[in-house]
Amino acid sequence: MKKNIYFNHDGGVDDLISLFLLLQMDNVELTGVSVIPADCYLEPAMFASRKIIDRFGNGGVDVAESNSRGKNPFPKDWRMHAFYVDALPLLNESGKVITPVADKPAHLHIIETLRATEGKTTLLFTGPLTDLARALDIDPTIEEKVERLVWMGGTFREEGNVHEPEHDGTAEWNVFWDPEAAARVWESGIEIDLVALESTNQVPLTLDVRERWASERKHIGVDFLGQCYAMVPPLVHFSTNSTYYLWDVLTTAFVGKSDLVKVQTVNSIVLTEGASQGRTAETADGRPVNVVYDVDRDAFFDYMTELAKKA
């Protein structure tokens, strides 16, 4: 039995690699894709997504553009990454783009696709939750069609990954971009699996992983991993907020193979105002979320590399 997956992402290197890996999973039926211009620019992220589906998928899926806007913009340097992926020769060899752009904006595309898909669908989100929050506002009955939400977002550690003026550093970026959207989804009855910084911090992109991909680059999919991650080079002599983790790829791998991680229930709220905005905070009377807090690192990297070899 294949799981229905609807994927909403925001065009970072790890978002686009996630799309590539989803297309290699035998146990996944990808029902729809949409792109939100949060940690990316929309045009190159749309083209890159469509070209990845052309190159590595079997067709039958369209890609919707989001017209959502966030409260706290991502740094431009990070948003540029989608241009680099879109420009890769591997994705431009055919000289054409076949996968269509959906005729509806992402939040309406979510509603339409959930309704048109038989049975329930797992929502996989690797950027902010704005499109889902808007979809729920328009049609709350879609909750019935949602199996669960698997989201890369949040943390219950003291340190988040937002280092911005007027912020205290406790938030994770996907929440911070649009805190109200996360708070709206928290109000819903949807079961939420949170792949939080607790686990993603355990999968930094280290040199040994890059070397492994280099040594196995005779497989076109493994070469694609190496080429994409070469766009986010390591800063080896000091740790900054530009250290790259496999945030979204871990989230996607969890969908394909849930026994890679450990999960624990936490009652929480999303803070929407002030210096801690975007922080997910544990509180006894908060709504329960399933937090992925631990991962078998070696098994995770083996799984993603083996998936890439199937391409």
Segment near ligand AGV (CB under 6 A); pick from 106-114, 237-245, 259-267, 300-308 = 237-245
Q: Which does 172 bind (CB under 5 to 8 A by kind): Ca ion, ligand AGV, none?
A: ligand AGV
Residue that is written with structure tokens 């819903």 in the block: 188
Q: CA 240 to CA 56: how far, in whole Å?
A: 33
Residue of 150, 111, 147, 115 lying closest to 131 (CA atoms): 111
HSE value, Cβ hemisphere, 13 Å, CA-based, for 27: 10
Minimum CB distance to Ca ion, residue 94 (Å): 27
Give the sign of the dihedral formed by CA 207, CA 209, CA 215, CA 217. negative
Q: How far is CA 2 from CA 27, 150, 307, in A?
A: 5, 16, 16
Minimum CB distance to Ca ion, residue 284 (Å): 31
Beta-carbon contacts of 118 under 8 Å, excluding residues fewer than 6 positions away, are none
Count other Cβ atoms within 10 Å, centred on residue 157: 14
Segment near ligand AGV (CB under 6 A); pick from 57-65, 172-180, 266-274, 285-293 = 172-180
Please select the residue that binds ligand AGV; options are 27, 94, 242, 283, rule is CB under 6 A: 242
Positions 251 through 310 that interact with ligand AGV (CB under 6 A): none
The mark string for 74-93 relative to ligand AGV (x by CB under 6 A, - otherwise) is: ----x---------------
Segment near ligand AGV (CB under 6 A); pick from 54-62, 167-175, 207-215, 289-297 = 167-175
Minimum CB distance to ligand AGV, residue 78 (Å): 4
> Where are the strands (E) in 25-145, listed by range?
28-35, 63-65, 121-125
Segment near ligand AGV (CB under 6 A); pick from 8-16, 105-113, 138-146, 206-214 = 8-16
> Where are the strands (E) in 36-106, listed by range?
63-65
Q: Which does 65 bind (CB under 5 to 8 A by kind): ligand AGV, Ca ion, none?
A: none
Residues making contact with ligand AGV (CB under 6 A)? 12, 14-15, 39, 78, 126-127, 152, 161, 172-174, 241-242, 244, 247-248
Residues making contact with Ca ion (CB under 5 A)? 10, 12, 15, 126-127, 248
